[in-house]
Structure 1
Amino acid sequence: MKNITVLKGDGIGPEICKEVVRILETLNLDLNFELHEVGEACYEKTGALIPQSVFDSIEKNKIVLKAPITTPIGKGFKSLNVQLRNKYDLYANIRPAKSMPNVKTPFDNIDIITFRENTEDLYIGEETMIDENTVHAIKLITRGASERIIRAAFDYAVKNNRKKVTCVHKANILKLSDGMFLNIFNEIKGDYPQIEATDMIVDNTCMQLVMRPEQFDIMVMPNLYGDIVSDLTSGLIGGLGLLPSSNLGDDFALFEAVHGSAPDIAGQNKANPTALLLAACLMLDYLGYETEATKIRTAIDDVLIENKVRTADLGGSSSTTEFSDAIIAKL
């Protein structure tokens, strides 16, 4: 029996988490789900955003399925997502954006994977108030972190028969930091002669993604660009409700939806559980349950093709529970 630490999150988190676990349990796999509260709701009850019991569970199980956690904007506590990534050195944030059937978007056949370095860049959160009108923020890029995310992207391309890896950067302006990231990419690409390797400035990348997205396959980039560009790729396939994410390190793995906690619809049984369910599929792949992951993905596709049950973000009026029931019926 493999134990999975499940973090229920904030806002819509507990609702979509409940449904995803329910779907997973219908497969009767040798998995046990340990559910934990974290975030704002947990803080109100216990005085801790992440109780020690959660850390203990993660360090015992090493596999985490996480629902969205609220991060205050411009004030309050630092992102718990970033804290977890740093604490467990989850250096590779992998976000696959793939077109889904019967979801109308300007583009068809999108299949783009973003490899986002997950531990440094501006996300280290080191800011200094120089005076009341001036703030300095530190952007950290290191050779070690850059090498491992770039190699992870190329290794994934080789393993999964992908054809191309594009390095996304701003080395024309940030000649030292992004310049080093690009230089390391150019060093490493020689070890993978079978993979086409290109680079593109981040602003041009954003334009090209909404004009000719078919030119992209795998993209690898520093932390901040990865966060922004991967959200852009979600727009190509129908929105954040369809974009999953894996956060991988050498010893731990965390799987999550990319979208936020959507407090405006929390508790209303309206949220789309697809992104978290697809994240759970990434977890099943990681655990060696590729066949079962494919079954879930096929069930999602079948429900979308049938077009009888879909949530509001996809143009329907079905509830979270109804959508999950439809998935289970297909399984």
Structure 2
Amino acid sequence: MGSMARQAVKNLKDLCRHQARGVTYMPRPGDGTPRAVTLIPGEGIGPLVTGAVVDVMEAMHAPVFFETYEMTGTMDRVPTEVVDSIKRNKVCLKGGLHTPVGGGVSSLNLQLRKELDLFASLVHCANLPGLPTRHDDVNIVVIRENTEGEYSGLEHEVVPGVVESLKVITKFCSERIAKYAFEYAYLNNRKTVTAVHKANIMKLADGLFLESCREIAKKYKGIKYNEIIVDNCCMQLVSKPEQFDVMVTPNLYGNLVANTAAGIAGGTGVMPGGNVGADYAIFEQGASAGNVGNERLVEQKKANPVALLLSSAMMLRHLQFPAFADRLEQAVMSVIREGKYRTKDLGGNSTTQEIVDAVISNLG
């Protein structure tokens, strides 16, 4: 054996010994100090699934503790003590809240996003191992502008029977969300960012959004940039979703695209998400919680906690506790892969508590 071969073998042995020992993490004072997290249990199934997260966090001795505040969707506005708590803790975990349909009652979800300037909604829609779906290889991240567009809340009745609703698009917010999407793609080794729009009709509003995305795209040479009209996007999502990687959208389109992608990848019950800004973050079920008020699920205690458990793993990573996030994600994935315990929306009949117990037993 020549000298170069012997050196190669020595290097390999050194590498194996290093891997066997593991990489030592040298903590700084206070790194493991438990972090306060504002908890809003929500309504309907909300207390069930947030309670599941609390149980799992306690079982894995995660370095967080919760400040709990009750809210209902019928409140006129978000209580001041809730906003103060989130501003103090910087992070919130939230169950679903009812949003009244019509009637002029403002959505508390929108109030929170505007009050805290949570400008980016992120939903990760991906196949879970062991959970069969119509399409394979789905791994889409939908990043949605969260503060303006059709959700600006600027509506008024011009004359009886005629209502004007304003869609507001600004260059500042469009560039901000585009930069967030490209930064996410760059830091997570994603290859493509696709902007979703309707600029063929809304030439000024969506045109401004597209111009902003194009300007930001020029600064990220290693990431491919595409554009797609929203109606074609919906057709492509249900026929060939694996073509999409990171998608950046104005407010309303993002809501539709994220829910469609979630349905393709396994349903809203397994899709994590969060609403983030420069200073604060709220983690919750990624796609619309259409079953928030499902009384049968509440009575039978069979709500699916997977989406919020995965969202809480995102929260742990956001708090810079990646080892705890990895343990939680792997435990949830193990339960899904084994297929023994699944709630009704995933083809099973398990209770929320049975899922929680299975996840805890897989924490390893």
TM-score (norm 2): 0.87
Partner of 2:315: 283
Provide the aligned C-alpha RMSD in A. 1.3
Q: Quick one: which amino acid aligns to residue 290 of structure 1?
A: P
Partner of 2:209: 181
Q: Does 1:305 align with 2:337?
A: yes
CA distance in 1, matches of 2:134, 2:223: 28
Q: Deviations over 1:225-279 (max 9, x none)?
A: 0011000000111111111111111111111113322333334301001111111
Partner of 1:141: 169
| Structure 2, unaligned runs of 5 or more | 1-33
1:112 and 1:216 in contact (8 A); partners too = yes
Q: Quick one: which amino acid aligns to residue 297 of structure 1?
A: E
1:16 and 1:271 in contact (8 A); partners too = yes
1:19 and 1:324 in contact (8 A); partners too = yes
- Secondary structure of 2:117's counterpart equals coil
Comparing 170-179 with 26-35, greater Cα deviation is found at 26-35
Q: State which of 93, 116, 119 in structure 1 corresponds to 2:121.
A: 93
Q: Does 1:21 align with 2:50?
A: no
2:44 and 2:293 in contact (8 A); partners too = yes
Alpha-carbon shift at residue 99 of structure 1 (Å): 0.5
Q: Does 1:269 align with 2:301?
A: yes
Q: Quick one: which amino acid aligns to residue 183 of structure 1?
A: E
Q: State which of 131, 141, 150 in structure 2 corresponds to 1:113.
A: 141
Q: Does 1:315 align with 2:347?
A: yes
Q: 1:60 to 1:150 in 2, by over 3 A?
A: same
| Structure 1, unaligned runs of 5 or more | none
Q: Deviations over 1:203-229 (max 9, x none)?
A: 000001111111100000100000110
Comparing 25-34 with 170-179, greater Cα deviation is found at 25-34
Q: Does 1:203 align with 2:235?
A: no
Q: State which of 292, 302, 311 in structure 1 corresponds to 2:324.
A: 292
1:241 and 1:259 in contact (8 A); partners too = no
Alpha-carbon shift at residue 40 of structure 1 (Å): 4.3
Alpha-carbon shift at residue 300 of structure 1 (Å): 1.4
CA distance in 2, matches of 1:87, 1:53: 13
CA distance in 1, matches of 2:77, 2:49: 20
- Secondary structure of 2:355's counterpart equals helix
Partner of 2:240: 212
Q: Deviations over 1:75-131 (max 9, x none)?
A: 252111111000000001111101012222111121000010000001011111122
Whichever of the two has the greater Rg, that structure is 2
Alpha-carbon shift at residue 29 of structure 1 (Å): 2.4
- Secondary structure of 1:74's counterpart equals coil
1:11 and 1:267 in contact (8 A); partners too = no
Q: State which of 167, 180, 183 in structure 2 corresponds to 1:155.
A: 183
2:169 and 2:209 in contact (8 A); partners too = yes
Q: Does 1:8 align with 2:41?
A: yes
CA distance in 2, matches of 1:288, 1:267: 37
1:167 and 1:185 in contact (8 A); partners too = yes
Q: State which of 82, 86, 96 in structure 2 corresponds to 1:54.
A: 82
Alpha-carbon shift at residue 35 of structure 1 (Å): 1.3
CA distance in 1, matches of 2:337, 2:104: 43
2:119 and 2:146 in contact (8 A); partners too = yes
Q: 1:267 to 1:14 in 2, by over 3 A?
A: farther
Partner of 1:30: 63
**Structure possessing the higher relative contact order (Cα contacts under 8 Å, 6 or more residues apart):** 1
Partner of 2:8: none
Partner of 2:3: none
Q: State which of 106, 111, 117 in structure 2 corresponds to 1:83.
A: 111
Comparing 199-208 with 67-76, greater Cα deviation is found at 67-76
CA distance in 2, matches of 1:76, 1:12: 25
TM-score (norm 1): 0.95
CA distance in 1, matches of 2:181, 2:101: 31
Q: Does 1:259 align with 2:288?
A: yes
Alpha-carbon shift at residue 51 of structure 1 (Å): 2.6
Alpha-carbon shift at residue 53 of structure 1 (Å): 2.1
Q: Deviations over 1:44-84 (max 9, x none)?
A: xxxx6533221221121110001111101122521111110
2:149 and 2:250 in contact (8 A); partners too = yes
